[in-house]
Structure 1
Amino acid sequence: MTATPDAPHGAPGDRRPAAPVRAVLASRRTRVLVAVGMVLVALNLRPAVSGLGPLLEEVRTGLGLSGAVLGVLTSVPALCFAVFGSLAPRLARRFGPLLVVVAAMAALAAGLALRAFAGGTAVFLLTTALALAGIAVGNVLMPVVVKRWFPDRVGTMTGLYSTALALGTSGAAALTVPLTQAAGGSWRFGLGVWALLALVAMLPFGAVLLRRRRTEAAAAGGAPADPSGAPADPSGAPAPAFRMSRSATAWALGVFFGLQATGAYVVIGWLAQIYRDSGLSAGTAGALMAVAMGVSIPLSFVLPRVAAALSHQGPLAAVLALSGLGGYTGLILAPTSVPVLWALLLGVSNCAFPLVLTMIGMRSRTGVGVAKLSAFVQSTGYLIAIPGPLLVGVLHDASGSWNPPLLMMCGLLVVQLAVGVLAGRHRFVEDGG
């Protein structure tokens, strides 16, 4: 006999899964959607920056940008990431991280699309800032999403979105020019087309939020749900009530983040020119740049998993810093002897980025704590990173040689190694460590 609607789920004849089974299946589907959303969001977190570089000369000519404005453009990403990223935890607490990330992708799409129609310097800078504001919020909240939905797979999921971020960075750098050429040489199309990817990234998280709303509507008398659609904080701990600025671990992570970001911006902005000034062709320099960026793609997936399995991530931070020291030393002593080795070493060193993201997720007990820590670390770090690429150019212009700025980078890596060892200790910021 077919079960009646009033029959208990799982009764004989009822072909529907029992309620607990349905809940598990729904939870798995939601986690899959969240994972897909994380990958798509991560793909969007750098094209607004890395896609601009290959078209900078065309944009400069098209808008009549001055050299001073171009200098501002090299520093504005770090500034926007620091300023707007600090707002993310407050927004996430009020509206939930997923809804805020969806809004951030909407801001990114709007900024990229409007930037393509900019007719002057002011509009171009403002729309770029709007796009970067969306990226800043996404930067801060990705570790929060991992902590809330995948508390048992922090390393694996951090590796997944770090790899997607690296793919988005290199993909935009490689594809923007061909896309521009396919559109008849229009730099506006080459920059604006990335808005479509941001719109696509809104869909999985939007689907999760809609599923949550339907579940609430179907559950009569249920308790109010988290506006994020997330499971309860896995720790069950209350929101941390402490000042992040009093935590030595938070400061160590912030300085570590800032120094690794400095290294990444210097490699992205100057490595190809260093090789060209050493006598290599533009094509060879570009290929070596691709090597430095490409090596981070597989390592970005593996490294967070290794870091999450260790009780102390300091040794990994030391290995990455020593790799960078080897790369910069090679550029100083013999830049053209084995240039691919120096590029590989610097690419490995830049994998400090997925490492610090993993440590952010491991240095707090709660999702709210991770949000506060992520905002503090990234805001502090990006402020530290602002002057680095500019100082490299100033030192080179003043000395006529790349050796002084490369020696400066070696000194910064020594500091990065020290603070990385401190940040890698098994501590929680809630404990005041």
Structure 2
Amino acid sequence: MARVVAGEFNGQVTTPSRRDFALMLTALLLLAVNLRLAVTTASVLLPLLIDEGALTPQAAIVIPAVPTALFAVGGVLTPWLSRRIGAVAAVTWASVAVAIGMLARFVPHSIAIVGGTVLAMSGIAVVNVMLPALVRATSGTRMRSVTTAYTTVLSASSAIGAAAGVPVAHALGSATLSLGSWALLAVVALGVWIAAVSGRGINDALAAPASQGRVPLPRGTWPLTGFFALQALLAFVVMGWLPTIAVDSGITPARAGVLLGIVIMVSIPAGMAAVSMAHTLRGIRIGVVGVSVSAAAGLLGLWLAPTAAPELWSVLIGAGMAAFPLTLALIARSGSGAAEATRVSGVAQGVGYAISTIGPLGAGAWYGAGGEWGPVLVALVVGAVLQALIGLALASAPKASGPKAAAPRA
């Protein structure tokens, strides 16, 4: 019989041994690290890769567009893939794709770098969807602490990739070597994951009962999807365009780069605080309103008085970016079990990422047409307000439609 790590089996929550829990936690955290490193390291190294001749300017345009597009596709296809070959196999093969794709970026050629990025992002898209459900299926009574840990690692690894990509390139004397070197973590993550799941019943935890057939999505799925879409839209515009907006507002390029760093760093402790609130209805209400109001206030400041206190605006925007880990925590606890959480994750991320592409594309088109940033910032403020309203609707919705779904505490 397969040995169960932890999770929800036959309606019971199991608790793993310390050794099994430590191994699975390490695997989940390493998987989480690679979800962001592969994205941020490529973004910060684009100018150097072009300068070295490893990437043509035309190919460089494709790199930033790949993650969002594939994350949307992955959200739609991953639940089907999980049912088809099993959750463990889906994550394993996805992790193989991440490792191979990142290793391919060692080759200083546009085809290898773009192809490797597409392959790596395809794997990341699958793990993106599966990770919240995996946390629920494997962490047992420790789900709250594991959720906090992995969402914190997601934010921290994004900051590490953005901060370390260029210094590593300078240390190695090559942007391509820096880009490919992060693949070592992907290889380690794959090995630890295989060791953690060997002989364990995770597929059973993530499989929907055969007798269910097609059942409606849990109530609250669509508000959660709307909240995910808006926070992703805001985040992609901020991460992609904040330095440019700041420079065009009269801030020096060096200071503009620091502002983005502040946003990323503040989002880490803010995310931990937001996730800790996601276990009671009152906490969810405070969390969704708090992150939305903070983002709106920072964006308003950037619009109305960009040079007055840009660091303060960045702190507020960074606190607003905590909406992402908060949403992942809500996905992890959605539905009546890990199988339903997988379905909810697929819908929220698939539809959410597809909608969110409007943000960076719209901002880029507006900038390319020579437009002022004011209307873009106003639109983002409106989006943050709408995010708060949808979040309140989400906090008022039952967690799931199934009989086993326990409502969060008021």
Q: TM-score range by the shorter chain?
A: 0.7 to 0.9
8 Å contact from structure 1 (residues 369, 430) kept in 2 = no
Q: Which residue of 1 aligns with 2:315?
A: 344
2:408 aligned with 1:418, yes or no?
Answer: no
Q: Which residue of 1 aligns with 2:102?
A: 112
1:299 to 254, 267, 270: 270
C-alpha separation in 1, matches of 2:212 and 2:48: 49
C-alpha deviation, 1:337, in angstroms: 0.8
Distance 1:190 1:64, change over 3 A: closer
**SS of 1:86's equivalent?**
helix
C-alpha separation in 2, matches of 1:288 and 1:256: 25
- Tell me which moved more, 147-156 or 258-267: 147-156
2:221 aligned with 1:250, yes or no?
Answer: yes
2:203 aligned with 1:206, yes or no?
Answer: no
**Which amino acid counterpart does residue 179 of structure 1 have in structure 2?**
V
C-alpha deviation, 1:240, in angstroms: 5.3
**Which amino acid counterpart does residue 145 of structure 1 have in structure 2?**
L
Q: Which residue of 1 aligns with 2:28?
A: 38
Matches within 5 A, 1:257-406: 257-310=228-281, 313-406=284-377
Q: Which residue of 2 aligns with 1:187?
A: 175
**SS of 2:148's equivalent?**
helix
Give structure 2 stretches of 5+ with no counterpart: 1-13, 406-410
C-alpha separation in 1, matches of 2:140 and 2:209: 14
- RMSD between aligned alpha carbons? 2.6
C-alpha deviation, 1:300, in angstroms: 2.3
Q: Which residue of 1 aligns with 2:155?
A: 166
2:91 aligned with 1:101, yes or no?
Answer: yes
C-alpha separation in 2, matches of 1:430 and 1:239: 16
Q: Which residue of 2 aligns with 1:9?
A: none
C-alpha separation in 2, matches of 1:155 and 1:248: 22
C-alpha deviation, 1:430, in angstroms: 3.4
Q: What whole-Å deviation, never above 9, does each CA across 1:101-156 have from its counterpart, x for those lacking one?
A: 23222211100111231523x44332211100111111111111111122433332
C-alpha deviation, 1:360, in angstroms: 1.0
8 Å contact from structure 1 (residues 266, 388) kept in 2 = yes
C-alpha deviation, 1:263, in angstroms: 1.0
**Which amino acid counterpart does residue 59 of structure 1 have in structure 2?**
L
8 Å contact from structure 1 (residues 84, 133) kept in 2 = yes
C-alpha separation in 2, matches of 1:273 and 1:255: 27
C-alpha separation in 2, matches of 1:64 and 1:135: 22
Q: Which residue of 2 aligns with 1:18?
A: none
2:380 to 381, 404, 409: 409
8 Å contact from structure 2 (residues 281, 395) kept in 1 = no
- Tell me which moved more, 416-425 or 38-47: 416-425
C-alpha separation in 2, matches of 1:26 and 1:395: 52
C-alpha separation in 2, matches of 1:176 and 1:413: 31
8 Å contact from structure 1 (residues 332, 406) kept in 2 = yes
1:430 to 392, 401, 406: 401
C-alpha separation in 1, matches of 2:140 and 2:160: 30
TM-score (norm: length of structure 1): 0.83
C-alpha deviation, 1:192, in angstroms: 0.4
Q: Which residue of 2 aligns with 1:65?
A: 56
C-alpha deviation, 1:87, in angstroms: 2.8
C-alpha deviation, 1:247, in angstroms: 5.6
C-alpha separation in 2, matches of 1:25 and 1:412: 41
2:128 aligned with 1:139, yes or no?
Answer: yes
Q: Which residue of 1 aligns with 2:72?
A: 82
Q: What whole-Å deviation, never above 9, does each CA across 1:81-114 have from its counterpart, x for those lacking one?
A: 1112333223334554344323222211100111
Distance 1:394 1:229, change over 3 A: closer
C-alpha separation in 2, matches of 1:239 and 1:347: 45
**Which amino acid counterpart does residue 66 of structure 2 have in structure 1?**
V
C-alpha separation in 1, matches of 2:352 and 2:189: 26
8 Å contact from structure 2 (residues 106, 177) kept in 1 = yes
C-alpha separation in 1, matches of 2:206 and 2:184: 33
Q: What whole-Å deviation, never above 9, does each CA across 1:194-247 have from its counterpart, x for those lacking one?
A: 11000111233212233x2xxxxxxxxxxxx73x377x579x977754455x66
C-alpha separation in 1, matches of 2:260 and 2:197: 40
C-alpha separation in 1, matches of 2:212 and 2:177: 46
C-alpha separation in 1, matches of 2:215 and 2:285: 24
C-alpha deviation, 1:33, in angstroms: 1.0
Q: Which residue of 2 aligns with 1:21?
A: none
C-alpha deviation, 1:59, in angstroms: 2.4
Q: Which residue of 1 aligns with 2:7?
A: none
C-alpha deviation, 1:292, in angstroms: 0.5
**Which amino acid counterpart does residue 104 of structure 1 have in structure 2?**
A
C-alpha deviation, 1:267, in angstroms: 1.2
- Tell me which moved more, 141-150 or 300-309: 300-309
Distance 1:233 1:409, change over 3 A: closer
**Which amino acid counterpart does residue 328 of structure 2 have in structure 1?**
L
Distance 1:269 1:401, change over 3 A: same
C-alpha deviation, 1:302, in angstroms: 2.8
**Which amino acid counterpart does residue 364 of structure 1 have in structure 2?**
G
Q: What whole-Å deviation, never above 9, does each CA across 1:327-383 have from its counterpart, x for those lacking one?
A: 111011111111111001110111101111111122201111011111111011110
C-alpha deviation, 1:392, in angstroms: 1.1
C-alpha separation in 1, matches of 2:268 and 2:350: 25
C-alpha deviation, 1:280, in angstroms: 2.1
C-alpha separation in 1, matches of 2:328 and 2:287: 13
Identity %: 33
TM-score (norm: length of structure 2): 0.87
